[in-house]
Amino acid sequence: MIFSSDNWAGAHPAIAENLMAHAGGYAAAYGTSELDRKVEKRFSEIFEKDVAVFFVGTGTAANALALSSANRPGGVVFCHREAHVNVDECGAPAFFSHGARLSPVDGGRGKMEAAGLEAEIRRFPPEFVHGGQPMAVTLTQATEGGTVYSLDEIEAIASIAKANRLPLHMDGARFANALVSLDVSPAEMTWKRGVDILSFGGTKNGCWCAEALILFDLSKAEEMHFLRKRAAQLFSKSRFIAAQFDAYLAGDLWLDLARHANAMARRLADGIAASAESRLAWAPDANEVFVVLKRPVADRLQKECAVFYEWHVPHHLNGSLAGDEGLYRLVTSFATRAEDVDRFVAGC
Amino acid sequence: MIFSSDNWAGAHPAIAENLMAHAGGYAAAYGTSELDRKVEKRFSEIFEKDVAVFFVGTGTAANALALSSANRPGGVVFCHREAHVNVDECGAPAFFSHGARLSPVDGGRGKMEAAGLEAEIRRFPPEFVHGGQPMAVTLTQATEGGTVYSLDEIEAIASIAKANRLPLHMDGARFANALVSLDVSPAEMTWKRGVDILSFGGTKNGCWCAEALILFDLSKAEEMHFLRKRAAQLFSKSRFIAAQFDAYLAGDLWLDLARHANAMARRLADGIAASAESRLAWAPDANEVFVVLKRPVADRLQKECAVFYEWHVPHHLNGSLAGDEGLYRLVTSFATRAEDVDRFVAGC
Amino acid sequence: MIFSSDNWAGAHPAIAENLMAHAGGYAAAYGTSELDRKVEKRFSEIFEKDVAVFFVGTGTAANALALSSANRPGGVVFCHREAHVNVDECGAPAFFSHGARLSPVDGGRGKMEAAGLEAEIRRFPPEFVHGGQPMAVTLTQATEGGTVYSLDEIEAIASIAKANRLPLHMDGARFANALVSLDVSPAEMTWKRGVDILSFGGTKNGCWCAEALILFDLSKAEEMHFLRKRAAQLFSKSRFIAAQFDAYLAGDLWLDLARHANAMARRLADGIAASAESRLAWAPDANEVFVVLKRPVADRLQKECAVFYEWHVPHHLNGSLAGDEGLYRLVTSFATRAEDVDRFVAGC
Amino acid sequence: MIFSSDNWAGAHPAIAENLMAHAGGYAAAYGTSELDRKVEKRFSEIFEKDVAVFFVGTGTAANALALSSANRPGGVVFCHREAHVNVDECGAPAFFSHGARLSPVDGGRGKMEAAGLEAEIRRFPPEFVHGGQPMAVTLTQATEGGTVYSLDEIEAIASIAKANRLPLHMDGARFANALVSLDVSPAEMTWKRGVDILSFGGTKNGCWCAEALILFDLSKAEEMHFLRKRAAQLFSKSRFIAAQFDAYLAGDLWLDLARHANAMARRLADGIAASAESRLAWAPDANEVFVVLKRPVADRLQKECAVFYEWHVPHHLNGSLAGDEGLYRLVTSFATRAEDVDRFVAGC
């Protein structure tokens, strides 16, 4: 059974079928087809606001383009230390932004602490040209720690960003998982709480390859057309992304898939909490479960029946693991089955 | 009927079905699945040589990454004046290469002339640091003019590149169309004649979104992994590209699709040559037909029954068009039907 | 005798002495000293307007920073084909602007033609994202051809730039030579005719190393502080540039030096015009003289008594040189002596 | 009296006079004059090895170019957390290297700890493309903490770099101060202990504007010509830098100036250590003294008689300062007078 990542699953049948359904016929290229337009409108409905939508191919592309749209010379982006942009994108944000730097902020369980963010921003006073200048704040929702910022926590970060006249980006690679976890609306979790630009991920939640950059500030849209094209992220047969989102956003499919993934994570967490052989590192809010296992146990599971990765022990857990223990990450997805969860908990 | 571009078509049924077939189940992410490996091996078979294969999302990405792998400070890339990298990629090659410049070379019907290429390279003598330094040569096969370089023409360009120790890149957005036009093997049209790196396009010939960067020099492969990831072109569910190529390269599908597109272009060209109301600007070798039409005729066709674009008049045609004439481009694809061609020739 | 370039001369005694005079004592670093402030005020006096002044180390730095301040993704800068930014800066403008491209405009004797500029800009219609987008226009005054744009010619270029909402940059590496040639005020030759940003060169006209970027639009100044620092052009002992400009701009020294250089160029041109063995390629307006010499004559002069370079024959002279003739550039400076000019004209 | 920075001093008289002496006459431009050659040879003598020398205008330029010569896509440079490249260069290293990132390593008093460096490098295993790849190690000598790495400490860092096939750069903005502190030869402090590339600073030790990039590996020199020119750091009247170094490196002037600055720092440290009102944060090795003062004392000194800056409290001092205490930096230079030191110690 597979708990390595939600991107090891394929495409949900409804999404694959919609691709099939749109394979024939002709459509205008480069994002100008009727289907592209239809999906863009759907995003505006979902967010209860006219938004600008840019399809791109990867979450890294969405994040890096979002940050490059805030580009300033000598610019500094503030993010959580464990953020995907900081540790898993091979420097793409810096490359897309011509050398902008990421300044990591600490905080337990994947969440930036407001006080830490403020302190980090203060390291770059406006009159000190040598240090560079703040240019954006980015947070991940759900976080890389499988947790979810509350609306108030988002607003607290946003108010610091605003006070420093910095745009706030949300990396929503697992946007749907966070949304159903909080049980709020997309608008409430984003622009109503101060998010300016969003990487809206579909890939990890049942699409093949469907990511969208959502701009809540339409004045930034004109430049984004050129940023995206220059970054080689404008797809000629763009409807292949549109068709995926078309099915994904139809009815509540996207939310149902996320609810399933989260439920599987909770089931996994409950099983682990009740187990003698393992313990939760912390409680999951979305579809990632962090668990402390004795290494021999983990080794056996990995050899015999399950795929999952050991994880870097974050700063706030230092000292809390025994010598023969490791931290492991288990990720569920729309495709995870309850019986696989139960078998894993039972030692496969 | 649609002659605007081969990227207005969707996906060929066999390709869409293969995507569907691979939608279920789990697979290792980021290009490491068995299907990815299988397709990479297929490329090595096709090219009769161990090649390194990198899937990317767009032709622009393939081209820009190829050129960035040859990067030198102050670098200059030599290409045809009408080359896609020069006029249609929004500066992506320069962006990916940190400011490398493109130096256009003239030549009729989309082909660089060897003498012009040599003269252009000589403008950058090694000891003159102010001008910068040559870094690569790139040619498009089939060209943006719908023509095809002969093997000897490729070799002539390659020998100039080699003499100047420059890698030779081939933009093969329409690789299959060129290949069946020349009726040679992939190896003969590439590394046997001096091509070092190839953008192998599948999208325009029946895929949704399938482009591959093919490195004939394996020593460049290690760095390309980082170049691709940094450029946000490493797809998590990479098998969605692999599955497309898997079907595309099975048997002769890819060649059959290209043969059909080329045959439709010839049918169009023959019809136009026989027509009183229009004339060929030059004879097509692949699936793009350039035709001179009186503007009122073109306007009527565009309004009533056909989608196609007016084209920039290249230098070598200056003066050969009458005042009321325009140059127009007609592109055929795997999806073009003979009856549509005939109706277009008959005035729809 | 030296006619290779005005940058082969050293520093004028008044400038060297002022450096010496300021060598002792302490001063605030990074451009904040009293002397820095004094010189900045002097620039505002000279330009009859509050300007923002940024000292940098090279003309290339001034030009590349000026263009980077206008940066747009996929951006295109329009310049004369022979412009220093296009042929002599090793791609620095593209590097500083993250891949912005230069689009050359033709025109005889080093001057962009307004019609050619307009045609070139029209190649980038706003709705065509593939081509990229215009971002700036730059002209050189005095030009690389030793000629000078008239005020009306500047205004014509500026009005095209304005109509396309593009900033106009002037590369004034030989600003003083142009100014005294036109006999107008600095304000008249710049912002009063539509110039937005100026590279003001001192080095070629008697300084060691003194270039200033002059911003007529103060709203751009804040960002330039970061652009300059990020480009490693903020000098710690900045007063070493300030001290040079302090002497250079005191009274009419800078204008006197330029008048002398121009007078020497005219003397050279008159001598050549009267000579049987050589002829002017065109009449000089400033301190560069382009002359057609028979190669054996040039070879003998270069071997026996004079340093000067053969020059690339510009397009508009094609066919006007005999087989044994070459085009040569002779540059005069503040340090050129009349007797050397006369000896050169007499064959040394 | 001035203890704000060694770059508040001007130029040493011998250096200013040599500039004056070379102001007249002509010399080949762009670093090709006889004086340039003479100084380059002098560097090879000093380092007991043929070295490639590149004059640049600022220490930031030297550092950023050095790191860009090691550029790899997704590259990561390891440096001390307080390193000038990390906190005082406005992102220039990232900009020059197209988005390379700096990964800070901790260590007391400005020195990277070998164990910390190794741990940081291990965060980027070669097979994990997402994280990026190590590309260089850089250390500062003398450090930003006013301390000096011993030869063995340098070698320890170098051996880690070598084991990971990473070039080792030394930021020698205060190279002379470190050298006389250790009382070793330039060769011993650099290439004999594994340094591959050096930023050799002259500006802070009595020059106006004289920095040199020294390459111990001559195979890197060809590319550096283009890197430097593209970065707008190739000076036309390059002899103005050469003339400064010519005087600076004549006899032992450079070492004598550094010895004086260091002696003044020791005098200051001794006075502070004996004082009741202040204490040393740690002992200085070179020309920077870090002192803990009560804020009211510091405020009075700054208001009445001395210029010096409060400093960021480094991690390893956390908790060791009282609530009303601050950390302050005092920098001496070739121009510092003993009587000023004594007056400062006495409370001015």
pLDDT in tens, B277-308: 899 999 999 999 999 999 999 999 999 999 99
**Tokens, residue A327:** 């931290």
Burial (Cβ within 10 Å: 0-12, 13-18, ≥19) of residue C241:
buried
Nearest to B10 among A2, A237, A335 (CB): A237
Domains with residue ranges and CATH for chain A = 10-253 (3.40.640.10), 255-345 (3.90.1150.10)
Please state the rounded mean pLDDT for residues B234-238: 98
Q: Which of C341, C331, C325, C330 shows the shortest CA–CA distance to C293? A: C325
Q: In what order do the strands lie in the sheet with A325-331?
A: A278-280, A288-294, A325-331, A309-310
Given a cut of 90, whether residue C68 has pLDDT beyond it is: yes
The answer to whether residue D89 neighbours chain A at the CB level (below 8 Å) is yes
Q: What is the pLDDT of residues B122-170, one digit of tens each?
A: 999 988 999 999 999 999 999 999 999 999 999 999 999 999 999 999 9
Please tell me which chains touch C, using 3 or more CB pairs under 8 Å as the contact test: A, B, D
Least confident stretch, A296-300, C275-279, D69-73, D269-273: C275-279
Given a cut of 90, whether residue A181 has pLDDT beyond it is: yes
**Tokens, residue D69:** 């010569």
Q: What's residue A339's pLDDT?
A: 97
Amino acid type, A321 = L
d(CA D170, CA D66): 9
Nearest CA of chain A to the CA of B50: how many Å? Answer: 27
Q: What's residue A318's pLDDT?
A: 82
Helices B338-345, B253-273: axis angle to 10 degrees equals: 20
Given a contact cutoff of 8 angstroms between Cβ atoms, the answer to whether A261 and A336 are in contact is: yes
Amino acid type, C173 = A
d(CA D110, CA C174): 46
Q: Which residue of B has its CA nearest to D134?
A: B226
Q: What is the pLDDT of residues C174-224, one digit of tens each?
A: 999 999 999 999 999 999 999 999 999 999 999 999 999 999 999 999 999
Q: What's residue D127's pLDDT?
A: 84
The alpha carbon torsion through B126, B130, B135, B139 (nearest 10 deg) reads: -110
Which residues on D lie below 8 Å from C56 (Cβ)? 232
Asked if C226's CB is within 8 angstroms of A72's CB, the reply is yes
Q: What are phi and psi of C105, to 5 degrees?
A: -115, 135
Nearest CA of chain D to the CA of C96: how many Å? Answer: 8
Given a cut of 90, whether residue A6 has pLDDT beyond it is: yes
d(CA A303, CA A319): 27
Please tell me which chains touch B, using 3 or more CB pairs under 8 Å as the contact test: A, C, D
Nearest CA of chain C to the CA of D194: how many Å? Answer: 27
d(CA D175, CA D187): 12
Burial (Cβ within 10 Å: 0-12, 13-18, ≥19) of residue B292:
buried
Given a contact cutoff of 8 angstroms between Cβ atoms, the answer to whether C110 and C147 are in contact is: yes
Question: Could you give the C-alpha distances from B13 to A337, B94, B208, B246, in angstroms and in order?
Answer: 31, 37, 11, 13
Asked if C130's CB is within 8 angstroms of A73's CB, the reply is no
Q: Which of C68, C86, C101, C311 to mutate to test the interface with B (most CBs of B within 10 A)?
A: C101
Q: Which residue has the higher pLDDT, A292 or C316?
A: A292
**Mean pLDDT computed over every residue of chain A:** 96
Q: Please name the residues in contact with A332: beta carbons below 8 A apart, sequence gap of 6 or more.
A: A3, A6, A261, A262, A264, A265, A268, A287, A288, A289, A341
Given a contact cutoff of 8 angstroms between Cβ atoms, the answer to whether C192 and C153 are in contact is: no
Q: What is the pLDDT of residues D84-139, one digit of tens each?
A: 999 999 999 999 999 999 999 999 999 999 999 999 999 999 889 999 999 999 99
Query: How many angstroms separate the first and last alpha carbons of chain A?
Result: 9
Q: What's residue B203's pLDDT?
A: 98
Which residues on A lie below 8 Å from D92 (Cβ)? 99
d(CA B138, CA D43): 42
Which residues on A lie below 8 Å from B24 (Cβ)? 10, 13
**Run of H or E including B102:** strand B101-105
Given a cut of 90, whether residue D318 has pLDDT beyond it is: no
Q: What's residue B316's pLDDT?
A: 82
Handedness of CA B23, B27, B28, B34 (dihedral sign): negative
Which residues on C lie below 8 Å from D173 (Cβ)? none
Q: What is the pLDDT of residues C218-241, one digit of tens each?
A: 999 999 999 999 999 999 999 999
* pLDDT over 90 percentage in chain A: 95
Nearest to C74 among B76, B91, B97 (CB): B91
Q: What is the pLDDT of residues D162-212, one digit of tens each?
A: 999 999 999 999 999 999 999 999 999 999 999 999 999 999 999 999 999
Please state the rounded mean pLDDT for residues A342-347: 95
**Mean pLDDT computed over every residue of chain C:** 96
Which residues on B lie below 8 Å from D229 (Cβ)? 74, 129-130
Q: Which of A63, A53, A288 shows the shortest CA–CA distance to A171? A: A63
Q: Which residue of A has its CA nearest to D96?
A: A99
d(CA B95, CA A95): 9
Q: Please name the residues in contact with B76: beta carbons below 8 A apart, sequence gap of 6 or more.
A: B100, B101, B102, B103, B124, B132, B133, B134, B135, C91
pLDDT tier, C324 (very low <50, low <70, confident <90, very high otherwise): very high
Question: What letter would DSSP give residue C193?
Answer: G
Burial (Cβ within 10 Å: 0-12, 13-18, ≥19) of residue C291:
buried
Q: Which of A101, A103, A106 to mutate to test the interface with D (most CBs of D within 10 A)?
A: A101
What is the maximum alpha-carbon separation in chain C? 61
- Confidence check on the interface: ipTM exceeds 0.95, yes or no: yes
Given a contact cutoff of 8 angstroms between Cβ atoms, the answer to whether D232 and C92 are in contact is: yes
Q: What's residue B198's pLDDT?
A: 98
* pLDDT over 70 percentage in chain A: 100
Q: Which of C32, C68, C225 to mutate to test the interface with A (most CBs of A within 10 A)?
A: C225
Q: Which of D163, D157, D228 shows the shortest CA–CA distance to D190? A: D157
Q: Which of A129, A213, A235 to mutate to test the interface with C (most CBs of C within 10 A)?
A: A129
Q: What is the pLDDT of residues D257-316, one digit of tens each?
A: 999 999 999 999 999 999 988 999 999 999 999 999 999 999 999 999 999 999 989 888
Amino acid type, B69 = S
Handedness of CA D77, D81, D83, D87 (dihedral sign): positive
Q: What is the DSSP string of A141-203?
A: SS-TTS----HHHHHHHHHHHHHTT--EEEEETTHHHHHHHHT--HHHHTGGGT--EEEEE-G
d(CA B176, CA A202): 32
Which residues on A lie below 8 Å from B5 (Cβ)? 29, 236
Given a contact cutoff of 8 angstroms between Cβ atoms, the answer to whether A95 and B92 are in contact is: no
Given a contact cutoff of 8 angstroms between Cβ atoms, the answer to whether A70 and A130 are in contact is: no
Please state the rounded mean pLDDT for residues A231-239: 98
Question: Could you give the C-alpha distances from A10 to A276, B209, C328, in angstroms and in order?
Answer: 33, 16, 68
Asked if B129's CB is within 8 angstroms of C89's CB, the reply is no
Please tell me which chains touch D, using 3 or more CB pairs under 8 Å as the contact test: A, B, C
Coil, helix or strand for D217?
coil
Q: Which of C272, C166, C167 shows the shortest CA–CA distance to C216? A: C167
Q: Which of B220, B182, B233 shows the shortest CA–CA distance to B64? A: B233
d(CA C146, CA C111): 10
d(CA D345, CA D280): 12
Asked if B99's CB is within 8 angstroms of D73's CB, the reply is no
Coil, helix or strand for D232?
coil
Given a cut of 90, whether residue C285 has pLDDT beyond it is: yes
Please state the rounded mean pLDDT for residues A177-198: 98
Q: What's residue C315's pLDDT?
A: 80
Asked if C229's CB is within 8 angstroms of A129's CB, the reply is yes
Q: What is the CA radius of gyration of chain A?
A: 20
Q: Which residue of B has its CA nearest to A96?
A: B231
Omega cis (within 30) before C142: yes
d(CA C70, CA C76): 10
Amino acid type, B341 = V
Q: What's residue C127's pLDDT?
A: 84
Given a contact cutoff of 8 angstroms between Cβ atoms, the answer to whether C27 and C35 are in contact is: yes
Which residues on B lie below 8 Å from D55 (Cβ)? none
Amino acid type, B132 = G
The answer to whether residue B131 neighbours chain C at the CB level (below 8 Å) is yes
Burial (Cβ within 10 Å: 0-12, 13-18, ≥19) of residue C322:
exposed
d(CA A252, CA B272): 52
Q: What's residue C277's pLDDT?
A: 84
Q: D 155-214 residues with CB below 8 A of C?
A: 203-204, 208-209
Asked if D129's CB is within 8 angstroms of A89's CB, the reply is no
Q: Which of D213, D182, D187, D176 shows the shortest CA–CA distance to D198? A: D213
Composition of chain C by helix, strand, coil, percent to 5: 45, 20, 40
Q: What is the DSSP string of B109-140?
A: GG---HHHHHHHHHTS-TT-GGG-EEEEEEEE
Q: What's residue B260's pLDDT?
A: 98
